Each structure stands twice: as C-alpha cells, then as structure tokens.
Amino acid sequence: MKIAIAQINPTVGNLTGNSNLILEAAQKAASAGANLLITPELCLLGYPPRDLLSVPSFIAAAGEKLHQLAQDLPPDLATIVGTATPNTNAVKQGGKALFNSGVLLEGGKVKQIFHKRLLPTYDVFDEDRYFEPGETSGYFNIGELKIGVTICEDLWNNEEFWGKRSYAGDPIADLVKLGVDLVVNLSASPYCASKRQVRSAMLQNSAQRCALPIVYANQVGGNDDIIFDGSSFAINRNAQLIRVLASFKTDFAIVKYDETKGDLMGDSLHNESAIQDAPLSFDPPEGDAEIWEALVLGVQDYVRKCGFYRVVLGLSGGIDSALVAAIASCAIGPQNVLGVLMPSPYSSDHSVNDALELAKNLGIAIEMLPIGDLMKGFDRALADLFIDTTFGIAEENLQSRIRGNLLMAISNKFGHLLLSTGNKSEMAVGYCTLYGDMNGGLSVISDVPKTRVYSLCNWLNSGGSALKLPANGEIIPRNIISKAPSAELKPGQIDQDSLPPYDILDDILRRLIEEHESIAQIVAAGHDEAVVKRTVQLVMRAEFKRRQAAPGLKISDRAFGTGWRMPIAKAAFY
C-alpha cells in the first residue's frame, strides 16, 4: 500500500485556496497510485485560526467546503483532512462548540471523523479556548489494515521520553490496545531552533516502545509570528527514519507499507540498505543555516499572505538592519526591497558608507533622507519647554521617532511593508524606542539575540545562503561586523555605555527568559550579581514596550510574542 504525505502551506481563513492545495496533492497522490493521503492539522482552515473559530459563518463555510472537497477528490483515494467539526453535544453537556478533527474522505463522502484528544494550552497554543477534547482514539480500515489516527499533541505525551506524563491518557498506547498496524499523525507543530531533532527523537521513541510505524505530516509556512518548518517524516516499527521531507518548503512524498512484513518500507530514494548505512537527516542542519531558512520563510509568507509586494526598512550602517535587509532580499527578491538612510549630525561617515556598500552588495534600492533639519525643527518647537534642561534620552529618542515617521510615510505612500530591525537582546532590555525604531508591520529578528545576529552575518559571508556573494566575497561589509555597535544618537555613543557586553547579556537573558532561572541561579553560573539584577530590572520595566511592538518571527522556545503573557504592572519577583 502507498501512503502520500502532503506537506502544504495553508493560509489561515483561505478555505478555497487551502482546499485547492489539498486537491492538488490528492491528484498527485492518485497519479502515483497512492491509496491514502495524509494532510496537516486543521489544514483546511489554516493553523492557527484563533478567534476565526468563534465566527459561526466561518465554521459553516468550512463545513460546506469540506463536503465539496469530498466530492472533488479522486474517488478511490482515501484522504484525511484536518479541520474543525461541530460538537453536537456542546449545549447539552456544557462543552466547547468544536473539535479539532481529522476527517476521512473517500468515495465522495465523509466516512469517519477522529478528534484530537490532547489540547495544548502552553506557549503559542490556546486550543482549550476553542476545542472540546476527544474522548477516545480511533482507527479506520483500508482492506485488512488498521490505521490509527492521531493529531499533533496526541503523540507528544510520551512518559518514557519526557520523564513524566503531562496529560491524562496516552492516545498511542490506546491505539496499541486496539491492535492498529500503523499510526498517522496530522500536525501543525511550530518551529523553534533544533525542534526538528527533538520531534523526530520523540516519535522514534514512541515507535520503538509501541512497535508501530508512524507517518507524520506537518504543516509548513509562516502564519503571523509563527513559522512551521514542515520536516514531515515516516518511521518504521524499528524507529528508523525511512523518509524525511524538506524543511521550510512545501513537499510531497510517497511511502510504502508492506502488508506481508507489517511495516513501512524504504522507497527508491531510500531503500532498506540506505537506512542502515546512511541514516536520514534534516536539511538544512541545525544552527545558522536552519535559523536563516526559518526567517526567510517567515518574511516571505508574512509579506505574501498579508497582501504586500515590497518592503521598506531603515538602514543605519549597523549589523541588525544589515541582517534584516539580507533576509528580505532573499525572501522576496532585492528588487522589492527599499533601504532608507536617515543620517543625523551624529551619524559617522563610515556608517553611511557601510550602508551604501551593503545596498550595493544586495542589489537593493536606496534613498538618503538626512534628518538634521528636522531635528532642528523639533528643537525649536520644544525650546521653551526644555529650557534649563540638559540633552538626554528625550532628545536621543526624538531622532529615532523622526526616522520612524519618515519610514511610516514611505510605507503609507507606496504601500510597502515596514520591517523593524530590533533584535531580541534590545527588545528584552528596552533598548529600543516606541514610535521610533519599533515602528513597523513585522519585526524580523526580534527573537534573534545579538550574538546570533553576528553569527548569522558571518555565516552569510561564508557563502552559506542562496544570496550571491559579491566580488569582494562579503555580503555584509566587514566593517559592519567589526565595529562596536552603536545607536549613534549622541557623539561617541556605543551600546556598551549602558549595556553589558552582548555575550554576557545574552547568556543572562537566555537563562532568565528561556531557562526561567532566578537571580541566584544566574549569579551561581558565574555572572556578576549587580549586572544580573540590573538586567532583570531592565527586562521587567520594558514590558510596556514589548506589548506595543510589531509581530516578531518566533525561532526560540520563548519569544516575545503570542506565547509571552507577562503583566505590565507587576512587582519585582526574581
């Protein structure tokens, strides 16, 4: 038997477009002689649909589209589609109105419906807000073959792997009791760095402990701040990877189930001997290459799915805006990227020259808008009010806000999406200006620490990306990487005037934000107590800024976005 995996990139709410993606994959599967097609979780709606699930007309339209899709699919192909289905007992039993379901379509009809049992309510997930959990696990038959159905989190409750049980019940163990031969999983598992390896290791552990092959179909693409890497795969009952689909790209694959051996088999690309001799792995590998691909996909899909065609960003001659410009150029083409230089009297000549060289290397258009005269106008307007005060943060931030206004004017006039360029280290400690450099429709690297920004730029210059290296061999001019980072809002300013060195700062932030360590634990790890306390204070005070920031692409376990729900008004607690 042949099983097709459709790793598709749905758009939230686009029922017709998503249905067409499923139909295209089904036609390809039927042409290849497949018996079964697996699609990602909620792929008819797009994941995550969030409060669209609370709109009755949207749910009704999704139901109509599902039945239409059933009639349009190849009649001899069994297809499992991820969608939301009504909970008919919700009013009587007081439950949620919907289930997160996998629906089996075959012969023009809805044959069976399977409900997700384990509903995640952590980080970016809020499924308990919308869905009623399924009570039992189920399977369907193709011939004599029993195929168990699970949805995403249903396979993440593995006590042996995690060391403790996070939910009541174990869907895969229940399927073993039902005597299934194979497990399929419809998934929309978001990306974070190194998650592909964790995901495959966890499912391999499940396959091994239950002696069942697993076919895993994951969504790919960016939806708002969340990136889905795809990286679907199939595992045989011995926990060997027999097929791995592309990461950060749409993909399609066929795997074969041998009824006589009761297991998934390698195909012509990965036969059984290849499994033994050359274990499959994910491409690109972990590290800078993986993060780069995620950010490029995130920008590409945010631009496309929000209806934009071009982007604009401020180029300061610094490393953060250089990296964002490179990501945007790769995502939507350099011809669709506009960089704007807005030098002030405090901008160094080398920063302007560095920005011009970067633009030339990337092949992007550039505009120069000096802000000196605008600064003088603000100074005159505020002169009486600011009399007898000294130059300080207010005047520094005015420069950033002037630049933000100019960029927003360009965005409004020409319909370009404004990309903001602040990194995670700055966002964490509030080293950013509301209504200034924080302006934008998408914050590209707000989950990328400063140290990783440097690493990515060095990786780019090594030729790791699809961007063409210029004649001098460096996409990011060497001076941008080597010079001390500075906002250049006053003479001689550098970031380390007010922040610890970034290698120290980033380690403190990682321990605080991602590892949830206390001040005492961070100090015990070797950091200066005063520096740690000051950093924690900055993080807590900057919450009001982060609440007003543009959506930022998530690449870590703990990003300042959908999954970050810290109060603004709070007492110190570390």
Q: How confident is the model at residue 169 (pLDDT cuts 50, 70, 90)?
A: confident
Q: Look up residue 313 and give its two tokens.
A: 């960003």
Least confident stretch, 34-48, 243-257, 262-276, 554-568 = 262-276
Contacts of 139 (CB under 8 A, 6+ apart): 146, 147, 148, 149, 175, 178, 180
Amino acid at 529: E
Q: Name the catalytic one among 65, 116, 450, 554.
A: 116
Q: How confident is the model at residue 223 (pLDDT cuts 50, 70, 90)?
A: very high
pLDDT digits (tens, 9 = 90+) for 449-490: 999 999 999 999 998 888 887 877 899 999 999 987 766 566
pLDDT at 268 (0 to 100): 39
pLDDT digits (tens, 9 = 90+) for 174-207: 999 999 999 999 999 999 998 999 998 889 888 8
41 is catalytic: yes
Could you give the dihedral angle defined by the CA atoms of residues 518, 520, 523 and 525, in that order, rounded to the nearest 10 degrees? -70
Higher pLDDT, 41 or 162: 41
Predicted TM-score (pTM) of the model is 0.93
- Distance, in Å, from the CA atom of 346 to the CA atom of 413, rounded to the nearest integer, reads 28
* 352: three-class secondary structure by DSSP: helix
Q: Name the catalytic one among 41, 127, 293, 517.
A: 41
Q: How confident is the model at residue 167 (pLDDT cuts 50, 70, 90)?
A: low
Question: What is the CATH superfamily name and number for domain 289-499+542-547?
Answer: HUPs (3.40.50.620)
152 is catalytic: yes
Domain at 2-283: CATH code: 3.60.110.10
Class of residue 411 by CB neighbours under 10 A (exposed 0-12, middle 13-18, buried 19+):
buried
Q: How many CB atoms lie within 10 A of CB 277?
A: 8
Q: Name the catalytic one among 96, 132, 152, 192.
A: 152
Cis link prior to 285 (omega < 30° from 0)? no
- Distance, in Å, from the CA atom of 194 to the CA atom of 258, rounded to the nearest integer, reads 32
Q: Are strands 2-7 and 311-314 parallel, antiparallel or unpaired?
A: unpaired
